[in-house]
Structure 1
């Protein structure tokens, strides 16, 4: 780190539609705050990415199955639950209408990431990108074209945590940085060797960006500046806990 980390909100991005050039819209907001610097990380909310990629579903056209009706219970919308089932590789836990699911990407989260907040209407839900790492790579390439700088890119979304109240943003897609900093083999301040310490730096960057983006401010992106990130070609898939090391399922 440089000793100081700045988080700069990117304001003025309009409501996005399928097929919009997200990088071009971000480039305008980036220019308004003085442009990009070397080492910057651009964090973009998953919903912004999903909207331009057409990952939006109207519940009016969804026919719920008996399983969806069961999981919705008396208080949920079976159509919403059916979309969750369609997006899930496995249902991990449920307490109607709450569903914890593993997505096709390997993420374990509430509702398989299917969310009605900040959607386009009361009967509309937004899905996760099909391949968030690929989305981050494409966005990075387009930002290079539109700004002349290739920042690292993190696609973020809010996740709950099993033993903590509240949500925090994490990285769903990563391009241009190593998502995990491996400190195994290094020495701590007391000279002891670290044997298991691996820092989820992409998640930390996503959480920092959320402090200025928020859920109700209409700010879909931010620049995180001053973090000494390690360049890398890996993606957020590296942050998924391998099933053979998952002690809690």
Structure 2
């Protein structure tokens, strides 16, 4: 049976804090002992906060390209400047919408830059994605191994919109200790038919499930433990989930 446990009691995250220790303390306070194949899903927001990825918009001076794109999208030129600095390509720019390919490869709104739930006095600040979310997940996984005999795998999650569908859902932008992508090609289904294209986005599925506990607004639940899973595949980072630009089916 799959269980999803929202992790509470972590507190407000500040730059430089020991995020792994805070998460481990919260798990212990809840009486939760990680078991084999448990996955700790940690929201990108607290990872970015701990890694000091906050930026004051007052410190940003937009250039002409940012000003022009801001006029098209009707967004703050300072925010657009940050988006361009974090992106390798602009995918779509229309009023109130700016979709880019983040330098990590993820295609997302505003290069994943967020201004919500940043804490008191943060009205004019923005939060960037981690420099390398897979590396962030690996560091958390390694640190948790020092606290628990069986450390949980770690997924760093973020909320994405989806083409042709309303609403956001959580996906994995970082992963360690589990196969983010499981390749089933060449295996057979129950009827003996060979699977030709099936790849399972396990880390995305786990991130989405955890989103039921962490929420998207003022819930204040920054992480969730997902347990009851099973897999038989080597560890694969979340970078493997990113489809390369030459396989872009929609442009």
Q: TM-score, normalised by structure 1?
A: 0.94
Which of 17, 20, 43 aligns to 1:20? It is 17
Aligned partners of 1:134 and 1:190: how far apart in 2? 40
- Is 1:173 the counterpart of 2:170 in the alignment? no
1:1-249 equivalences in 2 (<5 Å): 4-31=1-28, 32-73=30-71, 75-120=74-119, 121-215=122-216, 216-249=218-251
Confirm or deny: 8 A CA contact 1:42 1:221 kept in the other structure.
Answer: yes
Confirm or deny: 8 A CA contact 2:54 2:125 kept in the other structure.
Answer: yes
Aligned partners of 2:46 and 2:210: how far apart in 1? 14
Aligned partners of 2:151 and 2:33: how far apart in 1? 12
Instruction: Report deviation, 1:231.
Output: 5.0
List structure 1 segments (4+ residues) > 3 angstroms apart after TM superposition. none
For structure 2, the 5+ residue unaligned runs are none
Aligned partners of 1:143 and 1:93: how far apart in 2? 39
Partner deviation per Cα, 1:194-233 (whole Å, 9 max, x = no partner): 1111110100000000000012211110100011134533
Instruction: Report deviation, 1:92.
Output: 1.1
Task: Give the SS at the match of 1:147.
Answer: coil
Aligned partners of 1:72 and 1:119: how far apart in 2? 23
Confirm or deny: 8 A CA contact 2:53 2:129 kept in the other structure.
Answer: yes
How many residues are aligned here? 246
For structure 1, the 5+ residue unaligned runs are none
Instruction: Report deviation, 1:189.
Output: 2.6
Confirm or deny: 8 A CA contact 1:23 1:146 kept in the other structure.
Answer: no
Confirm or deny: 8 A CA contact 1:177 1:230 kept in the other structure.
Answer: no
Q: Which moved more, 1:38-47 or 1:145-154?
A: 145-154
Confirm or deny: 8 A CA contact 2:182 2:233 kept in the other structure.
Answer: no
Aligned partners of 1:229 and 1:155: how far apart in 2? 19
Q: Check 1:231–1:177 CA distance in 2 against 1; reply closer, same or farther (3 A cut).
A: farther
Aligned partners of 1:205 and 1:36: how far apart in 2? 16
Q: Check 1:7–1:190 CA distance in 2 against 1; reply closer, same or farther (3 A cut).
A: same
